[in-house]
């Protein structure tokens, strides 16, 4: 009876798997995220196949480069790790899942910020948009069909959309990280991408106290042409997610971030929480709050257990 009258159901196609890849020949475990690793291209391909066979809707790729500089040169290098990995995954599972890529400079810069810095050490919004446009074309050429604009620069959606359209790439969609908060829950992710950041990103990510600002950012991204908007993190911002979902004319996604993953895994490892039940409850709450899809590091594991796959 409970199953028949259930109001919210999580489907495998709603789950998107974030994946990290580095240039080395062997995968490297991420200590703060048990079960997650920096893949080699070989293990990335195998993990992508496993995800596709489990029925996940998509993968989101993050590159961990061997070299970094002030402007993130490797981000636009066709032979850079993210672009090579994207081509490899598209060749493997591009017909089965949506292959998306993180479009941001933070992994590729030697200062760890999401944009180009000016002479005073501040993020230069407009100079960064030029780099984002170049990244968009490089990622589209590598085969990405959905670009994850996670840098939170003003005007980033319009800049990327204009660049794609001018190049005739109307086949490539944009996922705007619209309400991305300056959160303490990103800590393990910094290890996952070997971040070089010192300081914080509060000048361009949102204040955790502000819900209306998140709604305004989402509306602006839709006006600029975003095909999907994102709320990040997920569980601490379910109220924002609900409000964005109620007002958005485009699909709304949420990112269950590294800190959310690490906390639950740590509690489960100590026997303080029922792991599988807590994972299912957390994902259900995110979908119940209005997410049309969820980026989660448990995507493959959970998708394999769902009845609809």
Residue 308: the pLDDT is: 53
Is residue 3 in some structural domain? no
CATH number at residue 288: 3.20.20.70
Q: Residues 120-132: what's their mean pLDDT?
A: 94
DSSP per residue, 6-60: -S----GGGEEEEEEEESSSS-EE-TTSTT-EEE-HHHHHHHHHHHHHHT-SEEE
Annotated catalytic residue: which of 22, 232, 234, 296? 232
Q: How far apart are CA 141 and CA 83, in angstroms?
A: 8
Structure tokens at 275: 């792991």
- φ/ψ of 238, rounded to 5, equals -65, -30
With a cut of 80, say whether residue 13 has pLDDT above it. Answer: yes
Q: Residues 18-26: what's their mean pLDDT?
A: 95
Is residue 74 in some structural domain? yes
C-beta pairs of 28-35 under 8 Å, 24+ apart in sequence: 30/188, 30/191, 30/192, 31/191, 32/187, 32/188, 32/191, 32/192, 32/258, 32/262, 33/188, 33/191, 33/192, 33/258, 33/261, 33/262, 33/265, 33/297, 34/262, 34/265, 34/269, 35/265, 35/297
Annotated catalytic residue: which of 39, 45, 180, 201? 180
pLDDT, one tens digit per residue, over 184-229 is 999 887 777 777 777 777 788 999 999 999 999 999 999 999 999 9
Is residue 131 in some structural domain? yes
What is the domain extent for residue 55? 12-303
Residue 309: the pLDDT is: 43
Structure tokens at 25: 């020949």
Q: Residues 175-190: what's their mean pLDDT?
A: 91
Is residue 308 in some structural domain? no
Q: Before 304, cis peptide (omega within 30)?
A: no
What's the number of domains the chain is made of? 1
75 among known catalytic residues: no
Mean of pLDDT over the chain: 95
Is residue 122 in some structural domain? yes
Region of poorest pLDDT, from 122-126, 189-193, 201-205, 287-291 = 189-193
Is residue 293 in some structural domain? yes
pLDDT, one tens digit per residue, over 55-95 is 999 999 999 998 999 999 999 999 999 999 999 999 999 99
With a cut of 80, say whether residue 269 has pLDDT above it. Answer: yes
Q: Say what percent of the chain tops pLDDT 90.
A: 89
- φ/ψ of 190, rounded to 5, equals -60, -40
Q: How far apart are CA 52 and CA 39, in angstroms?
A: 17
Is residue 43 in some structural domain? yes
Is residue 246 in some structural domain? yes
In order of 12, 121, 227, 269, 284, the CA distances from 250 in angstroms are 20, 36, 6, 38, 21
232 among known catalytic residues: yes
């Amino acid at each position: 009876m409970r199953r028949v009258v259930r109001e919210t159901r999580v489907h495998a196609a709603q789950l998107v798997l974030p994946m990290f890849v580095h240039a080395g020949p062997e995968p490297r475990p991420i200590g703060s995220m048990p079960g997650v690793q920096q893949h080699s291209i070989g293990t990335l391909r195998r993990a992508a196949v496993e995800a596709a066979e489990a029925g996940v809707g998509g993968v989101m790729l993050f590159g961990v480069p061997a070299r970094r500089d002030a402007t993130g040169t490797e981000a636009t290098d066709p032979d850079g790790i993210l672009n090579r990995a994207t081509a490899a995954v598209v060749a493997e599972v591009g017909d089965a899942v949506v292959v998306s890529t993180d479009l941001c400079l933070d992994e590729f810069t030697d200062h760890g910020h999401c944009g180009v810095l000016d002479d005073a050490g501040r993020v230069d919004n407009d100079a960064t948009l030029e780099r984002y446009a170049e990244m968009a074309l490089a990622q589209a050429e590598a085969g990405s069909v959905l670009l994850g604009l996670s840098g939170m620069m003003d005007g980033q959606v319009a800049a990327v959309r204009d660049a794609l359209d001018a190049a005739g790439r109307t086949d490539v969609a944009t996922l705007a990280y619209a309400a991305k908060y300056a959160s303490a829950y990103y800590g393990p992710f910094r290890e996952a991408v070997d971040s070089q950041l010192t300081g914080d990103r509060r000048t361009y990510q949102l204040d955790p106290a502000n819900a209306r600002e998140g709604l305004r950012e989402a509306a602006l991204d839709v006006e600029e042409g975003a095909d999907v908007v994102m709320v990040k993190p997920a569980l601490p911002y379910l109220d924002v997610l609900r409000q964005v979902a109620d007002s958005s004319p485009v699909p709304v996604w949420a990112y269950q971030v590294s800190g959310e993953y690490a906390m639950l895994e740590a509690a489960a490892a100590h026997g303080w929480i029922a792991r599988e039940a807590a994972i299912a409850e957390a994902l259900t709450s995110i979908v119940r709050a209005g997410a049309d899809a969820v980026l989660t590091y448990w995507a493959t594991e959970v998708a394999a257990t769902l009845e609809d796959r």
